[in-house]
Chain A
Amino acid sequence: MLVNMLTGSLEQGLAYALMALGVFLTFRILSFPDLTVDGSFPLGAAISARLILGGTHPLLAMLTAVFLGMLAGLFTGILHTRLKIAGLLAGIITMTALYSINLRIMGRSNLALLRQPSILTIAQDWGLSRTGATLLCFGLVVLLIKVLLDYFLHTELGLALRATGNNPRMIKSLGVAPRKMIILGLALANGLAALSGALVAQYQGFADIGMGIGMIIVGLASVIIGESIVRNKKIVFATSGVILGSILYRTLISTALRLGFSPTDLKLVTAFLVIIPLARPKKGWLQGLKKITFPGKEAD
């Protein structure tokens, strides 16, 4: 039972880890509060489900999801950098627009993938168990993305992206247009979120219009949990922390379920999970609580 719970958390944690890496890229690397994720995650699920049902190879369906997710990020980026719409609002606008687009893609609010091929069934055809196939596939995809992301963030372009989030005035004085970096970062992050959505759809066997609700908070929770465990700020460690955070988040959620929380209460649990580390109280009981839970990370 406990083993089941832990493998389940591991599987889900890996599937959602890519979305969390996307949130890490926007919120932490780029210092851009991007809420597009709530729309780009189900976008990835919707398009991959629709394509798989239409007979497309699951891998191609996933690539299409990445591409469309990047377009969504690009759109938010253009709203912000060209049309000068505030970052938070730009993400909300795209997210809202994507709700209709996702419904269009799916044709209805829920698409089941019963007895459809997926990257998981492909791996199962090699003789692996369902769990083995899931862990292998998701593990490989997450590892590949992590390595690529780590590499990218150490390239000349990646450095410019990181500096844009850290000190935009400086990077401008060194010849980089910050808005290009913002657009690039948003596109990458939402490509990851959509890929994550495509994995989750194949894992749970359906795509649902509501599956993106609160996704940004789930991503933030993963990032924050990861940061509280992996303190080293170097990129390689930070991205590992995010993946670990995503897995731990799923473990916490399944623990909450075992403790008797109703599945419908989970968003409430997640919301509180995020409030405590993000709050910056000057004094009072929350400050004391934070000192216990996050030593050395006090409000400044």
Chain B
Amino acid sequence: MLSLNNVSKVYYPGEPNQQTALVGVNLSLEKGDFLTIIGSNGAGKSTLLNIIAGDIEPDTGSIGFSGAEITKLPAHRRAAFVGRVFQDPMAGTAAEMSIAENLALARARGQKRGLNRALNKNSRQEFSRILKTLGLGLEKRLDESVGQLSGGQRQALTLLMAVLGSPKILLLDEYIAALDPQTAQEIIKLTREIVKDLDLTVLMVTHDLNQALKTGTRTIMMDRGEIILDIDSAQRKKLTVPDLLERFARVRGRELSDDRILLQTR
């Protein structure tokens, strides 16, 4: 359903700060796959998501979606089938607009936007209904501006918006990293429910190895622009975080060094 074929990307080629982000990456995902992506800083995780979203064009290689090649398709055209949640809770919503208006923006994902009123009684009822599923009481605050919400509430709303308008692929880029642990847990739980309900294909970047193994159906580990480990759901069941670190050391011939990852494995 989604395939990356031999995708490479170098930032600032030929300049002193040249940086290799992806090296000949091949990846193939089926409908309903939930992929978690781990790796240290600079491993290429975010570049991978940006390339799928269309924010970045690969230097070489191609991207296929549902049998069509989408390598050159700009980000705003891919939005019809790609929903996305960024790490920054402020990034996914328009702060000065109301909750209902943000949802209306998201529902028209990838569609032609015309001169019809964006909100009416029906859409407001629908938005109330789906906001209720969050259990945050946002359904009573439809007309409040999003800027009034907490980071966690905003991220929950962004998640809801990312799956409105029926996208096929959901990209989650460390989307709970900026939240407190309890809120993060609630958002993860919500994500599982939504993904199951809508049968989405998900790519989730995380620095939490434990969570990477517990969430989703498949885990890849990236390092210096390459996919170095690809663990399917059968293998994942037996795998622990120390095993993962040990496998990394075996494959790469060095220890995994990333403070953020190591801190939370102790």
Contacts and interface: CB of A to CB of B under 8 A. Distances in A.
A167 B95 contact: yes
Interface string A63-97: 00000000000000000000000000000000000
Interface stretch (A43-51, A156-164, A185-193): A156-164
Interface stretch (A34-42, A109-117, A170-178, A284-292): A170-178
Given A172-B76, A174-B79, A175-B77, A156 B95 contact: no
Nearest to A177: B76
Nearest to A178: B76
A261 B111 CA distance: 55
B110 interface: yes
Nearest to B111: A175
A29 B86 CA distance: 24
Nearest to A175: B79
B115 interface: yes
25 contacts: A151-B117, A152-B115, A154-B117, A155-B117, A156-B104, A156-B115, A156-B116, A158-B118, A159-B101, A159-B113, A159-B118, A160-B113, A162-B96, A162-B97, A166-B94, A166-B96, A166-B97, A167-B91, A172-B76, A174-B106, A174-B108, A175-B108, A175-B109, A176-B76, A177-B74
B119 interface: yes
A174 B76 CA distance: 7
Nearest to A167: B94
A144 B110 CA distance: 32
A171 B77 CA distance: 12
Contacts of A154: 117-119
A174 to B, nearest CB: 5
Interface of B: 53, 55, 74-77, 79-80, 82-84, 86, 91-97, 101, 104-106, 108-111, 113-119, 145, 161, 165
Contact of A173 (B79, B108, B115, B117): B79
Residue among B55, B117, B145 having the largest count of chain A Cβ atoms under 10 Å: B117
A177 B113 CA distance: 11
Contacts, number: 88
A241 B122 CA distance: 30
Nearest to B158: A170
Nearest to A166: B94
A156 B165 CA distance: 14
Interface string A133-164: 00000000000000000011011111110110
A231 interface: no
- 7 A-B pairs with the lowest CB-CB distances in the bound complex, closest first: A175-B79, A156-B113, A175-B110, A166-B94, A163-B94, A167-B94, A159-B118
A151 B161 CA distance: 24
Contact of A174 (B91, B97, B101, B109): B109
Contact of B118 (A155, A166, A170, A176): A155
A170 B101 contact: no
Nearest to B90: A167
A24 to B, nearest CB: 14
A158 B116 CA distance: 10
B98 to A, nearest CB: 9
Contacts of B55: 172
Given A163-B105, A173-B84, A156 B114 contact: yes
Contacts of A157: 113-115
Contact of B96 (A151, A155, A174, A233): A233
A160 B105 CA distance: 7
Given A155-B114, A173-B53, A233-B145, A167 B108 contact: no
B75 A172 contact: yes
A172 B109 CA distance: 10
Contacts of B82: 173
A173 B95 contact: no
Contacts of B76: 172, 175-177
Residue among A152, A159, A174, A233 having the largest count of chain B Cβ atoms under 10 Å: A174
Contacts of B74: 177
B187 to A, nearest CB: 18
Contacts of B53: 173
A18 B83 CA distance: 39
Contact of A155 (B80, B84, B115): B115
Contacts of B165: 174
Contacts of B75: 172-173
A104 interface: no
A174 B97 CA distance: 15
A163 B114 contact: no
A177 B79 CA distance: 10
Nearest to A173: B84
Nearest to B84: A173
A169 interface: yes
A173 B163 CA distance: 12
